[in-house]
């Protein structure tokens, strides 16, 4: 996630603000490759006897060429696609959840889904747009599951205990650096607004690509971005003024 610092600045620039960068603790320590147990699961899907397929020339081929080879039975090329795109997918997932612990699990689910569906990829869109759509949908599924679990678990707690847990889940106010500011702003948004901001201001996708990923009109994307930035600005403005002073 070494590109996250630059991406965080992009979010605040879209709000008309500049602040100092400091990534959340633990983010840089997490490797851009999967943890060993997750990599093992992906490796099981790649035929070991075709390891010779993953050579230097193939690594320079386009996604489309690699997918065509995959669809012809060259399963070993899937490793190249994972290595090529996993960092951006992990950054995307982290930007949506703001939790390092969630990233590997969701990323694993994304690439398992990609492996299962890749044989049917019809080249009607770019691979990374299709990949992003899967990542966004998997993230949405997890957010929905969390809302359901949180609702039922919180209903069974006494009021005092529930308030204490809610306080612990809030973003701590001690650090006003850029990463925490962006995290706080994103957490104030609902999923559809947050995803639009992440895809545009952090991932740098075009309006057309975002519309395809979120399966909505370009005008809807622009409207969501405008509203999201207005809402984030209201939340962050007092904190940004504190940073300046």
- What pLDDT digit, counting tens, does each position of 74-99 carry? 999 999 999 999 999 998 888 888 77
Selection from 135, 123, 113 nearest residue 71 by Cα: 123
User: What is the structure's pLDDT at 143?
Assistant: 82
Give residue for tokens 């075009």: 206
Q: How far is CA 194 from the centre of its chain?
A: 11
Between 190 and 108, the higher pLDDT residue = 108
Judged against a pLDDT cut of 70, whether residue 171 lies above it is answered with no
| 203 and 245 part of one domain | yes
Cα(235)–Cα(238) distance, integer angstroms? 7
DSSP secondary-structure letter at 27? Answer: T
Q: What is the CATH number of the domain that holds 185?
A: 1.10.10.10
Question: What is the average pLDDT across 110-127?
Answer: 93
User: What is the structure's pLDDT at 175?
Assistant: 41
Between 104 and 24, the higher pLDDT residue = 104
The total number of structural domains that make up the chain: 2
User: What is the structure's pLDDT at 186?
Assistant: 83
Owning domain of residue 69? 23-173
User: What is the structure's pLDDT at 130?
Assistant: 95
Question: What is the average pLDDT across 155-179?
Answer: 43
Tally of residues, the chain: 245
Among 138, 173, 208, the domain boundary falls at 173
């Amino acid at each position: 996630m070494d590109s996250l610092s630059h991406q965080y600045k992009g979010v605040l620039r879209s709000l008309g603000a500049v602040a100092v960068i400091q990534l959340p603790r633990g983010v840089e320590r997490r490797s851009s490759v999967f943890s060993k147990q997750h990599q093992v699961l992906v490796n099981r899907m790649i035929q070991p006897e075709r390891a010779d397929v993953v050579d230097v020339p193939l690594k320079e081929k386009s996604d489309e060429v690699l997918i065509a080879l995959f669809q012809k039975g060259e399963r070993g090329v899937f490793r190249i696609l994972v290595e090529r795109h996993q960092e951006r997918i992990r950054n995307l997932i982290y930007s949506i959840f703001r939790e390092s612990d969630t990233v590997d699990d969701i990323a694993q689910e994304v690439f398992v889904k990609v492996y299962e569906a890749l044989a049917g990829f019809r080249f009607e869109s770019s691979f990374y747009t299709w990949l992003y759509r899967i990542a966004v949908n998997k993230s949405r599924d997890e957010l929905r599951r969390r809302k359901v679990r949180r609702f039922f678990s919180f209903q069974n707690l006494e009021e005092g205990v529930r308030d204490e847990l809610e306080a612990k889940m809030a973003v701590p106010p001690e650090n006003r650096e850029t990463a925490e500011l962006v995290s706080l702003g994103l957490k104030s948004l609902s999923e559809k607004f947050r995803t639009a901001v992440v895809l545009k201001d952090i991932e740098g996708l075009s309006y057309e690509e975002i519309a395809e990923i979120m399966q909505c009109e370009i005008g809807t994307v622009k409207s969501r971005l405008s509203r999201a930035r207005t809402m984030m600005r209201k939340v962050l403005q007092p904190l940004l003024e504190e940073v300046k002073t």
